[in-house]
Amino acid sequence: MKKITIAIDGYSSTGKSTIAKQLAKALGYVYVDSGAMYRAVTLYALENGFIGEETNKIQALIKMLPYIKLKFEFNQALGYAEMYLDGKNVEKEIRSLRISEYVSTVAAVSEVRQKLVDIQKNMGKDKGVVMDGRDIGTVVFPDAELKLFMTASPETRAHRRYKELLDRGEDVDFKDVLKNVQNRDYIDSHRVNSPLTKAEGAIEFDNTDMGLQDQFERIRGMALRVI
């Protein structure tokens, strides 16, 4: 069987990473969560005072970019890779609502994108990869053999994210989660640099009323037809 590249883009909380992980496991491919990289840079920026309620020192963040050490490390028990920032596992921190509130601002910085896109391209150079994000089919792997563009209603997506945050023990308000999902979609789709848009040749996939198993079967079917 030939190895292909699978690019999964779409709006926030459309379940991209859940499907991408399952698909990678079923195909024996590597799964890369590109959003985790933007989230880790955001955590770095917050921890070092480059962004915050009253701070916006993006130029200082840009100067530090070469020194930020990002690494994915495969967790055997979980079956997927976790994000490490400067040698520390930051999986829990980067999924918080606080990071979600700042990540789209950091992700709009072209120098940040350049650094992360280079790493992502390198991770997929041998194919056999499923990567999810916002610009995977448009910028990172425009030649991907299978491209998906995931959508669902904002309320459905906010409910999914809300439940996820509650399950992780975060004390959040549904209204704030919905606002965050809508804000991120707006910034991600309107930024000058690699805005979120359906890539040429991408298959649009609305999963508002679809269960996980059904989604997985359909997408695996699409992948197997290409492979």
The two tokens of residue 166 are 């509650």
Nearer Cβ to ligand C5P (27/135): 135
- In the stretch 97-126, what mask flags binding to ligand C5P with x, by CB under 6 A? ------xx--x-------------------
Report the nearest approach of ligand C5P to the CB of residue 30 (Å).
16
Under rule CB under 6 A, residue 20 binds ligand C5P: no
Under rule CB under 6 A, residue 188 binds ligand C5P: yes
Let me know: does 7 contact 134? Beta carbons within 8 Å: no
Nearer Cβ to ligand C5P (185/223): 185
Residues 6+ apart with CB under 8 A from 191: 104, 107, 108
- Is 11 assigned a ligand-binding role in the annotation? yes
Report the nearest approach of ligand C5P to the CB of residue 169 (Å).
18
* Distance of alpha carbon 11 from alpha carbon 101, whole angstroms: 15
Nearer Cβ to ligand C5P (27/104): 104
- Is 14 assigned a ligand-binding role in the annotation? yes
- Is 16 assigned a ligand-binding role in the annotation? yes
- CA distances for 77 relative to 73, 80, 81, 87, 129, angstroms: 12, 8, 10, 19, 20
Nearer Cβ to ligand C5P (93/188): 188
Beta strands in the chain (DSSP E): 5-10, 30-33, 51-52, 55-56, 70-75, 80-85, 88-89, 129-133, 146-151, 203-206
The two tokens of residue 154 are 């904002």
Interface segment toward ligand C5P; rule CB under 6 A; list 48-56, 57-65, 133-141, 216-224: 133-141
Closest to 148 (Cα-Cα) out of 80, 223, 212: 223
Residue 202 is classified by DSSP as: P
Q: Which residues are annotated as a binding site for ATP?
A: 10-18
* Positions that interact with ligand C5P (CB under 6 A): 12, 34-35, 38-39, 103-104, 107, 133-136, 184, 188
